[in-house]
Structure 1
Amino acid sequence: MSKVLVLNASYEPLNITSWRRAVVLMLKGKAEQVEHNGKMLYPDFPLPTVIRLRHYVRVPYKEIPLTRRNILHRDSHSCQYCGCTGDDLTLDHVLPRSRGGGDTWENIATACVRCNVKKGNRTPKEANMFLHHQPRRPYSSLHFEVAKHVKSGTHREWQKYVIGL
């Protein structure tokens, strides 16, 4: 079957769970169905794809570490200048370190070796190169997992509940 996106009472994404766990939460009255895919579990009981908890749950903020793996994941393992994918991807500082650019989510983008060398020690504007997506900090660790499901096409209905997709 499929996975289900769990939203907090405030419609903030909390978790991805199994359809069985989602149905149990609904039957216990702890959650309500927000979206379904048209498949029926029982007559008059559609299989949920998005549920919302009835009571707000406080979740402590968890910082996502700035690592090569997370940056590649954020940028969908593709060059942000030309769009090519492959194993020879590098990390490019949008504002070069020699000009005061630091190691931040907003200043590092994935680039192929060719584009990184072409850009060199210049800004994208100076090199006449344009970023497909402006680099930014992911909103939550769940962002990566939800993005994978949305981009694969299995759960397009999740996109409206996640900021930045």
Structure 2
Amino acid sequence: MGKVLVLNASYEPLNITSWRRAVILLIKGKAEQVEHNGKLVYDKFPLPTVIRLRHYVRVPYKEIPLTRRNILHRDSHSCQYCGYTGDELTLDHVLPRSRGGEDTWENIVTACVRCNVKKGSRTPKEANMILRRPPHRPHSGLYFEVTKHIKSGVHQEWQKYVIGI
């Protein structure tokens, strides 16, 4: 029947759970319903799409690894210069490594082979190429999972609870 976004008491996203687990949390009084999709679990009990825990849960900060897969996912598997979305995607350093550019979330973008070769060892400004979106560090590991659901169009109501999408 669907997935449910779980918010902390402070309205920050914690995780995504099954609708069954969400209903159990609601029945036990551990959470409250914030959003629903109009479908009913049973009479007069709407199926939740977003719930909020009644008590704050402290979550330790977890660094998101800088990997090719995560960068491709952050950039929606598309070239950040021309928008190409095929199989021939590479990673490009905005400030080239030959000029001191480092491997950081803020310096690496997804680029097609053609744009990467065209840019070469120059900055986007020097190559007269414009980035569609500036590179950024994802806010949380949950960011990837939530963006997948939002971009698929299934859970548009989640967007107002997530920063940076």
TM-score range (shorter-chain normalised) is over 0.9
Counterpart position of 1:111: 111
Partners of 2:124 and 2:87 in 1: CA distance: 23
1:76-100 superposed Cα distances (whole Å, 9 cap, x missing partner): 1110111111211000000111111
Amino acid paired to 2:142:
L
3-state SS of paired residue (1:111): strand
Q: Which runs of 4+ in 1 moved over 2 A?
A: none
3-state SS of paired residue (1:49): strand
- Structure 1 residue 111: deviation in Å? 0.1
RMSD of equivalent CA atoms: 0.7
1:122-156 superposed Cα distances (whole Å, 9 cap, x missing partner): 11111111111110000111000000000000000
Counterpart position of 1:16: 16
Counterpart position of 1:138: 138
Partners of 1:75 and 1:24 in 2: CA distance: 36
3-state SS of paired residue (2:154): coil
Counterpart position of 1:64: 64
Provide the TM-score with structure 2 as the length reference.
0.98
Counterpart position of 1:163: 163
Percent identity, please. Answer: 84
- Structure 1 residue 43: deviation in Å? 2.3
- Structure 1 residue 31: deviation in Å? 0.1
How many residue pairs end up in the alignment? 165
3-state SS of paired residue (2:32): strand
Provide the TM-score with structure 1 as the length reference.
0.98
After superposition, where does 1:85-124 map in structure 2 within 5 Å? 85-124=85-124
1:154 aligns with 2:158: no
Counterpart position of 2:4: 4
Gaps of at least 5 residues in structure 1 are none
